[in-house]
Chain A
Amino acid sequence: KAGVTQTPRYLIKTRGQQVTLSCSPISGHRSVSWYQQTPGQGLQFLFEYFSETQRNKGNFPGRFSGRQFSNSRSEMNVSTLELGDSALYLCASSLALVRETQYFGPGTRLLVL
């Protein structure tokens, strides 16, 4: 099976802009989670989607949003970018909501200037 894919892999934006990141889970996986990784804060949970519904959300401002489509592909959007949003954004998929093994994509590295 193909692994989790994320696009784009690298992105440079300026403050105030918005960005959309995409994640395609492993075929058959219905749960998609998003994480932000920074040197200072480490890996932090953003949100989790299952069957097109957001099931859980981490402690991030409303500028961070996401959605999941009927084919389980997911997108996350960050509006009004700030310098502190520069990070590696990781998507992970799993078969179900139960937090067993998560399969991670390669990540999207976002740089905000």
Chain B
Amino acid sequence: SQQGEEDPQALSIQEGENATMNCSYKTSINNLQWYRQNSGRGLVHLILIRSNEREKHSGRLRVTLDTSKKSSSLLITASRAADTASYFCATDESGGGADGLTFGKGTHLIIQP
């Protein structure tokens, strides 16, 4: 079952602008991760934020986590054409819920030059 739901499903912006994607989930989690996928290839891990963290940065990426609202956001600053990809959030559910990571359906990001 899909726990994470990304919003929007698709996003098109100009190069240099910031891109924000949101993820909502349903159950308690140990951590939430963001992955990037280019053109149906393998996923690349971007960043992991634990349930006791509220914000994390990695280069041009900023992730926030609000466990009270069961939501997370991924901000990509100063976007580049190479950022064009699908972005997925994935949750590791706590309490022995789902097995494996539970992925959302992704946000397709297009960076226009």
A25 at the interface (CB under 8 A from B): no
Q: Which range contains the number of A residues in contact with the other chain? A: 20 to 34
- Contact between chains at B103 and A103 (CB < 8 Å): no
- Contact between chains at A109 and B100 (CB < 8 Å): no
A-contacting 9-mer, from B17-25, B38-46, B55-63, B65-73 = B38-46
Q: Which residue of B lies closest to A106 (CB)?
A: B42
Q: Which residue of A lies closest to B50 (CB)?
A: A100
- Contact between chains at A33 and B43 (CB < 8 Å): no
Using an 8 Å CB-CB cutoff, how does the interface string of A19-47 with B read, 1 for contact, 0 for none? 00000000000000101000001111111
B2 at the interface (CB under 8 A from A): yes
Using an 8 Å CB-CB cutoff, how does the interface string of A81-110 with B read, 1 for contact, 0 for none? 000000010101000000111111111010
Residue of A33, A45, A106, A107 near B102 (CB, 8 A) is A45
A53, chain B: closest CB distance, angstroms: 14
How long is the Cα–Cα vector from A5 to B64 in the complex, in angstroms? 32
User: Provided the pairs A99-B100, A99-B101 are in contact, do residues A105 and B42 lie with their beta carbons within 8 angstroms?
Assistant: yes
Point out residues on B near A: beta carbons under 8 Å: 1-2, 30-31, 33, 35, 40-45, 48, 88, 90, 92, 98-106
